[in-house]
């Protein structure tokens, strides 16, 4: 059965439309991007559909359903994705991989991060740490949802230097974390969105700009992870 191709009525340069495009891309959902007229007055055909109450964008068509407004669309997409053992964090870029070899996946992630200009400052094997602090096999029996869980702490040195020069307390918000986790032979790679991480200081334009530069590298790194995907959510 062919997957449903979603239709997004939008315009380039519209920040609300961009949020929806990013979510569609992160979930690896096939969609067509339909450009609408610049002015709402020139979009009379949009209001002919059930669920569309005005000519404002973005508007998403999912089969027979029409959803209007970025918040409503994002909620629909997350509900559509359904529950997953790792979840679907809106504050991260996540890929779900069918690679059976966890160590191979971890090596690919490290290489992709380094090629994007990140340094891996530390690695924390949370699965082993939790296992050591409890009875053998308790992780699998606990319902935690994973059998392996590796946290990589990363940073781009020159951006980190600029962040600390701008705000010495910014060290509380980095390094950024990347998680490689495994459950039932499915491997998840999830990297925090630096812009989401720095939301607490969003009234500082210089910090936000540096977070955006870091995000661009993170997206580049996630795009370098060349493995077969299963229900992937990609940047």
Give 42-66 pLDDT, tens digit per residue: 998 888 887 788 999 999 999 888 9
When pLDDT is averaged across residues 172-197 and rounded to a whole number, the result is 88
Average pLDDT, the chain: 83
3-class DSSP assignment, residue 58: coil
29, 56, 81 — which closes off a domain? Answer: 81
Among candidate residues 203, 197, 201, the one with its CA nearest the CA of residue 215: 197
* Residue 233 pLDDT class (50, 70, 90 cuts): very low
Eight-state DSSP code of residue 1: -
pLDDT at 114 over 50: yes
Q: How many CA atoms lie within 13 A of 130 on its CB side?
A: 16
Pairing verdict, β 148-155 and 176-183: antiparallel
Are residue 45 and residue 138 in the same domain, yes or no? no
98 and 203 both lie in a single domain: yes
Do 76 and 100 lie in one domain? The reply is: no
Q: Give the model confidence (pLDDT) of 144-174 as tens digits.
A: 557 789 999 999 999 999 999 999 999 999 8
Full domain range(s) for residue 170: 92-223
Q: What is the pLDDT of residue 143?
A: 46
Whether 194 and 134 map to the same domain: the answer is: yes
Q: Are residues 139 and 101 in the same domain?
A: yes
Given pLDDT bands bounded at 50, 70 and 90, which one contains residue 234?
A: very low
Nearest-angstrom CA–CA distance, 1 and 180: 31
* pLDDT (average), residues 73-88: 76
Looking at the structure, do residues 108 and 218 belong to the same domain, yes or no? Answer: yes
Among the candidates 52, 81, 110, a domain finishes at: 81
Share of the chain above pLDDT 90, in %: 46
**Tokens standing for 70?**
């970025």
- Which of 63, 42, 34, 39 is CA-nearest to residue 51? 63
Is the per-residue pLDDT at 6 higher than 50? yes
| pLDDT, average across residues 17-32 | 88
Going by the DSSP 8-state scheme, the letter that residue 228 receives in this structure is: -
Whether residue 1 lies inside any domain: the answer is: no
Q: What is the CATH number of the domain that holds 24?
A: 3.40.30.10
Instruction: Read off the pTM.
Output: 0.60
**Statement to judge: residues 146 and 54 lie in one domain:** no
């Amino acid at each position: 059965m062919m997957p449903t191709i979603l239709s997004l009525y939008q315009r380039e340069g519209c920040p609300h439309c961009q949020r929806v495009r990013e979510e569609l891309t992160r979930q690896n959902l096939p969609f067509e991007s339909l450009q609408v007229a610049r002015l709402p007055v020139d979009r009379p055909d949009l209001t002919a559909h059930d669920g569309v109450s005005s000519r404002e964008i973005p508007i998403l068509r999912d089969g027979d359903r029409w959803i209007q407004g970025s918040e409503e669309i994002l909620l629909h997409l997350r509900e559509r994705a359904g529950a997953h053992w790792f979840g679907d964090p809106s504050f991260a870029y996540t890929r779900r991989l069918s690679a059976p070899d966890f160590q191979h996946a971890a090596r690919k992630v490290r290489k992709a991060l380094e090629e994007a200009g990140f340094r891996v400052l530390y690695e924390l094997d949370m699965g082993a740490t939790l296992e050591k602090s409890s009875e053998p096999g308790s992780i699998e029996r606990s319902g935690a949802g994973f059998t392996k869980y590796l946290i990589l702490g990363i940073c781009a040195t020159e951006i980190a230097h600029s962040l600390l020069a701008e705000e010495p307390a910014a060290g509380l918000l980095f390094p950024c974390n990347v998680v490689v986790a495994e459950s039932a032979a499915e491997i998840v790679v999830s990297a925090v969105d630096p812009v989401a991480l720095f939301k607490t200081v969003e009234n500082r334009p210089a910090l936000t700009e540096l977070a955006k530069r870091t995000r661009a590298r993170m997206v580049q790194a996630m795009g370098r992870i060349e493995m077969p995907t299963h229900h992937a959510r990609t940047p």
